[in-house]
Chains A and B, each alone.
Chain A
Amino acid sequence: MRKIYLPLTEEIRESLRAGEEVLLSGKMYTARDAAHKRLYEAIKKHKKLPLDLTDNVIYYCGPTPAKPGAPVGSCGPTTAKRMDGFTPALLASGLAGMIGKGRRSEEVKKAIKRYKAVYLVAVGGAGAYFASKIKKANILAYKELGPEAIYELWVENFPAIVAIDSRGQSIIKE
């Protein structure tokens, strides 16, 4: 399986093909509904974002609290389509990839193509498995949102499947 080291540069993105399985290593960020809403509002108001989106990957996930000694608890992906309304704005601001589960809207698909980004799918409901791929976790922003805060995650060999590639090709069954 192909190993990818984050950040996800344009060169890597353009080489990924829908249907390809990859193992990701490096740093990614979590954000789900509430964090998306805040990032989106900040972009609209031209405010500074708490993270640089350029070439970075957002994982749609709200990790569960860790047991003592572990970096995080179970942390599988959440349904991507709830972020659809916010995603094009984030992509326009440099976001390179998203990891989630399930289908995306036509607008998101178009934006992925326009900005040469990628949408990867992680297996939904495999929270314990993904926990074992996370080496370190830190809260980066919006701490008050609890599990919905933005975390920095350092992952090693995190498996994902390219579901929509930078050419707009998709393998998701409609």
Chain B
Amino acid sequence: MPKILRPLDVYKYLPQTNCGECGESSCMAFAAKLIERQVSVEKCTPLSEPKYGKKLKALLEVLRSPVKEVTIGIPPNAITIGGKDVMYRHELTWRHPTALMIDVHDEMEEEELIKRVKFVNDFSFIRIGRELKLDGIAVRCVSDDSKKFSTAVSTVLKHTQLPLVLCSYNPTVLEEALTIAGDKKPLIYAANKQNWKEMAELSSKYKCPLVVSAPGDLSLLKSLTVSIKKYYNLDDFVLDPGTFVDGGTILDTISMFSVLRYAAIEGEDSDVGYPLLGVPAAVWSLFDGNDDEKRLMESIVASSLMSRYADILILHSIDVWPILPVIVWRDCVYTDPRVPPSVKPGLYEIGKPNEMSPLLVTANFALTYYIVKDDVERNKIDAWLVVVDTEGTSVQSAVAGKKLTAENIYETMVSSGAMEKVQHKTVIIPGYAARLSGELEDLLKDWRVFVGPRDSADIKQFLEKIWKQEVFGEKQ
């Protein structure tokens, strides 16, 4: 069963002095936030006093998720992955969004390598006021040459502060790279059946998290993890069950990820209670097809594995179009499923509207609102915007689900005072709400209802070519 904690379960390990250092009014209040994963243990500074050493240890143990949190890199650019408490996001918001790493290798031209690193540094996509970014670089050793690999790693280090994954099955190659990058706490890829002792020693010596890899063999994966844990006293693992993609084996991959996660959370098998690594980049070495087919496949593999429990992904393509759906899906799937992102219904002013300005209607889904607002602002249009309560759903969905109706548009227009704001007695509804226009006209009596464009990107053209002509045509 997923671990559901009560405040008392953690309260007993707090200092219980209600000193308020954590910013909460009492230890109990802090306990409540701890179990909701809204605060981290470090906020209770008294706990770091030596006399609380035992309590702190016990507290961390109680708070440990069935999928352990593992940190890669160093502050301020460290990323934490894993920390999953539930199988399904409707049970509790998933935390620690899947980390997206882009690969480079040691036989790339330096120029190409730097270009790729810079692409990762600079990648940014803004959505609902949130900036979506990539997380780090995976450096692959293609040459099997320690010198070459170290050179590539130091070039990467010169150009980015982001966390790294160092990829080679050769411990000698990795050791040399770790002497220059070890203090940056990269993720080491990977310990397998052949090299696990040497890799475990490296992980222990440099205190870096370690990928345990056993492609297609979950028993071997578990055996390796348990052995390394036992003999080397390590606990910062990331598991790699293999990302198979060709001939439909992507389904086997998804199945392995799901079964591992199910075992960790529902089956309480702590031996596999670690973050999962997926390698959509494997498409480039395993999958037959041209480059665009590989990009499509890589993107689909990434989105599917993210839906089904991957905590970190290594990708190859640095084209924006295959990354876009992955990064947007990540932003969606890691939100709180209980609260639709919405804005307050009512009348909004964009720019400086007056009684001659257009009156637009939209839904109160946050994304819809921001997009409309952006488009109107970008085109330097002064407008009134009536935002109808569609329970946080987009126009298209809201029309289908009867959450955007002629009645509630009318009611919002009346209650928000929108009708007194304009003289032209016209209102523009979204293209997707076209079928509401007749009914709305009946309700509004002597008003005229315009069906605007489906996408607000076309609003300027619509206003100039149609609305202005029809409403003010004679006057101009």
The yes or no verdict on A and B being binding partners is no
